[in-house]
Amino acid sequence: MIAERRLAPWDVRAGHPGITFLTGGTAFFAIARDPRFSYCLYVPTDHTADGPPLPLVITMHGLPVHLVIGENYTDAAGLAPDDERRPVTAGSNRLERIHALHANWREHGIDARLDIVPGTGHHHFAVLPAVRRFLAPQVSASPRPRPPKVPEP
């Protein structure tokens, strides 16, 4: 049977046996051909739609984490407002928030790299060189076979 929409813990009544399959830890591989990079999503077993918000926890093994943003990306449109559930202010714009996220992750042992690209705001192609520099050693260390180099004409 195919569900019309994704099934989540809050779609199942409390005490239903299906909660077992929708909560707890679920292991994944980021790259099917390279099991060095894996992660696990943990949904709290007491998560309910009408209860207080609970954190979803993701643990990563071997996954390089890269945060990249343009130094001029100081827009605040679409950001969730600060509220009483957040113990520390996350910042008033995207640049401040990515700095807060990076600091939080480092504080919790996640070795994330933050690259601030000078002279740009929200521009995908402008940050691409920083992303390529970050990914180059990851790709070259991958154990999967490489196709032979084709000489350029």
Residue 127: how many CA atoms within 13 Å on its side-chain side? 18
Structural domain includes residue 68? yes
82 and 100 belong to one structural domain: yes
Q: Which of 19, 42, 62 is the last residue of a domain?
A: 62
Range of the domain at 112: 64-140
Structural domain includes residue 17? yes
Q: List the 38-43 sheet strands across, edge first.
A: 24-29, 38-43, 57-61
pTM: 0.58
Structural domain includes residue 28? yes
Q: Is residue 122 scored above 70 in pLDDT?
A: yes
44 and 112 belong to one structural domain: no
Question: What is the tens place of the pLDDT at every residue in 22-33?
Answer: 676 766 666 666
Output the pLDDT for position 110: 82
Place of tokens 């679409």: 78
118 and 81 belong to one structural domain: yes
Question: What is the tens place of the pLDDT at every residue in 80-105?
Answer: 776 665 555 678 889 998 999 899 88
* Phi-psi sector, 63: left (phi>0), alpha (psi -120 to 50), beta: beta
